[in-house]
Structure 1
């Protein structure tokens, strides 16, 4: 089974479209989005509409959650500032964001072994908590134990990695998907993950989980220019160019 996982689109439609084209060419068996569809860019409705059209199971990210506390009126659509990105969202899409879940868990049983994949936006404890490549190992293991997670997939930091932790004779995996629309690892290309679960997959050895990070090029300059032509701060455009 091949599973495509992506996160942190942040309304960057050009990056999202490029990722979808690449993902479709991979023909995954299942697709999941770990949240943050909106914020920082001017195409939240186009992104949400495509997610809903495809029926992609999606988590609520911290930027998606912000919509719950933002009140939009006629003036909101013309006032410059960081909140402009949230005021663009249609009411039906706001309702969709409000009802997204916090976590998704998949349980696999193969070769007399059970292992769980858990998806969260920030962490299994908090929607806006960073689980970084160097987060304290004991803290990560305790969090995974609470969530009954053998394989934990997260987003939020926009910095991709695959971390393997050995404990009690087994291997735990923590994977950060990076970001489709706002990378922060110095590489402006969008990033998503393809995970392969097959008859060789086990937590008894460290190298049996197949995780592939796919980087996707898109027209960064055109995307940045569309921000600069909007009421959003120009710093959002520059962050796309610099990927930080």
Structure 2
């Protein structure tokens, strides 16, 4: 078994296609997606179709919820609300009623057997929230929310923070595969993780270069909301927020 785990595509088709091609080259057999598929990028429909065609299991992210129901006051900084609402309108206008229903019905958590005795627990942000933030700098105690959610699991994975990292706590392995479409760690390459089951379970964090200028062109050619174009262009090119 080779399980690819990826997250936070955010409508970046160029990055997603590169990652899917890398998965193929790595002979991946199973694919888990940790949410945030379509919203906040120029190709929401194309990305959703690609994810649905390749991922075996998907959990819901906050951006998937936003694509369906919009963004509420208090969920984002007030100064960004108008811009992000315009991005939400752009996204939802390109998704069908069936697409939106699919996103709405995604599960918030999943339990995935890796072997007869070893299990992976998956969510987008935390087991109880699509929005809470636990980072690579959080204390071990903050990660107890994962272990408490599934005491039987040995592996735990989540997305949301756009930063890949690994934490080993009392025999449990907690990892974040980073972001495919909007990495925040200063490396513009798309990020994901592969778990390989051989005699043991091995973890590999992968970075995949892609045509970032194609993603920038997509912003302009699709008529993406102008207020957000410079922000996303910077992230595509430099792998971090301005």
- If the TM-score is normalised by the length of the shorter chain, which range does it land in? 0.7 to 0.9
User: Which residue pairs with 2:80 in the alignment?
Assistant: none
The CA distance in 2 between the partners of 1:218 and 1:108, in whole Å, is: 30
Question: Retained in 2: the 8 A contact 1:131–1:154?
Answer: no
Choose between structure 1 and 2: higher helix proportion.
2
Question: Retained in 2: the 8 A contact 1:228–1:237?
Answer: no
The structural deviation recorded for 1:54 is: 3.2
Q: Does 1:211 align with 2:203?
A: yes
Aligned length: 221
TM-score under structure 2 normalisation? 0.84
Which of the residues 76, 82, 103 maps onto 1:97?
103
User: Which residue pairs with 1:240 in the alignment?
Assistant: 236
User: Which residue pairs with 2:18 in the alignment?
Assistant: 18
Larger radius of gyration: 1
The CA distance in 2 between the partners of 1:13 and 1:60, in whole Å, is: 19
The structural deviation recorded for 1:96 is: 1.0
The CA distance in 2 between the partners of 1:90 and 1:196, in whole Å, is: 36
Q: Does 1:226 align with 2:228?
A: no
User: Which residue pairs with 1:74 in the alignment?
Assistant: none
Q: CA RMSD of the aligned region, Å?
A: 2.0
Q: Which moved more, 1:9-18 or 1:52-61?
A: 52-61
Consecutive unaligned residues in structure 2, runs of 5 or more: 72-84
Question: Retained in 2: the 8 A contact 1:34–1:61?
Answer: yes
Consecutive unaligned residues in structure 1, runs of 5 or more: 72-79, 202-208
Question: Retained in 2: the 8 A contact 1:178–1:192?
Answer: yes
- Partner of 2:160, secondary structure, is coil
Matches within 5 A, 1:107-126: 107-109=113-115, 114-126=117-129
What whole-Å deviation, never above 9, does each CA across 1:19-67 have from its counterpart, x for those lacking one?
Answer: 1111011112211111110112121111111222335321111000112
- Partner of 2:32, secondary structure, is strand
